[in-house]
Amino acid sequence: MMRKNCPHEKEIRELIEDGHWPLAALPELRAHVGECRTCSDLALVAGVFQNARIETMAAAKLASPGVLLWRAQLRRRNAAVERLTRPLLGAQIFALAVTLLAGLGFMGFEARHGLAWLNWLEQIPQSVGPLWDNLFSASVTSSGWAWMVLVAGLATLLLLGGVAIYKATDGQERIGRP
């Protein structure tokens, strides 16, 4: 399709945008629009679209601008919090990696120097076994005092563990909340 320029296009368009078409147009221009295909298309399309714009704008039901401002502020703040927590996560991963590397280094060092500490590890069951036997027998015989101590210790451990897990997850939830 070949596009044909018409010198009157701009003039007609300005008249339509100002709302002066066709009443305020010169008779020669109106006669030209009747003959020129490009200009008649322009006049028809622009006129219909201008009317449609006015009618459609009147039908708009707008939300409060305050709500949009509030949503934008919330989104910006969340993005900022997310940006802030990203380096913390990176630091945690870095710390874990360093710890693992240090542990592996230590293991390697010990393995190279004869695993002397394994002898001590082998002695642990022998030293703990009699102690456990004594505790168990004492708990049975000495009116349940040792049992109470054991149960209280375990309960304390469970309680502290629960509190620690709660604190950790609560902190994570607060950071990650949208």
Partner 1 sequence: MAPIEKRTRMSWESALPRSLAGGALDRSAAGTTDPAMDSDAFAVFYERSARPLWAYLVRVSSDPALADDLMQESFVRFLCAAGAPSLYTMGETAARLYLFRIATNLLRDHWRRPRAASIEEIPEEFFAGRDSAAHSDSQIMLGPALRRMNPRERQLLWLAYAEGYSHREIAKVTGLAATSIRLLLFRARRKIAGFLRGRASHVGRES
Contact residues toward partner 1 (CB under 8 A) are 1, 3, 17, 40-42, 44-46, 48-53, 55-57, 59-63, 65-66, 68-69, 71-73, 75-77, 79-81, 83-84
The distance of closest approach from Cβ of residue 28 to partner 1 in the complex, given in angstroms and rounded to an integer, is 22
The distance of closest approach from Cβ of residue 132 to partner 1 in the complex, given in angstroms and rounded to an integer, is 53
39 close to 9: Cβ distance less than 8 angstroms: yes
Residue (6 or 135) nearer to partner 1, CB: 6
The distance of closest approach from Cβ of residue 63 to partner 1 in the complex, given in angstroms and rounded to an integer, is 6
The distance of closest approach from Cβ of residue 18 to partner 1 in the complex, given in angstroms and rounded to an integer, is 10
**Nearest Cα residue to 7 out of 33, 25, 34, 45:** 33
The distance of closest approach from Cβ of residue 38 to partner 1 in the complex, given in angstroms and rounded to an integer, is 8
Residue (63 or 124) nearer to partner 1, CB: 63
Residues contacting residue 5 through CB under 8 Å, at least 6 positions apart: 38
Q: Going along 72-164, which residue ranges are E strands?
A: none
Residue (29 or 39) nearer to partner 1, CB: 39
Residue (25 or 39) nearer to partner 1, CB: 39
Please report the DSSP string for 122-142 in residue order.
Answer: HHHHHHHHHHHHHHHHHHHHT
CA distances for 84 relative to 87, 93, 94, 169, angstroms = 6, 15, 16, 18
CA distances for 31 relative to 23, 24, 72, 82, 135, angstroms = 13, 13, 53, 65, 115
Residue (80 or 151) nearer to partner 1, CB: 80
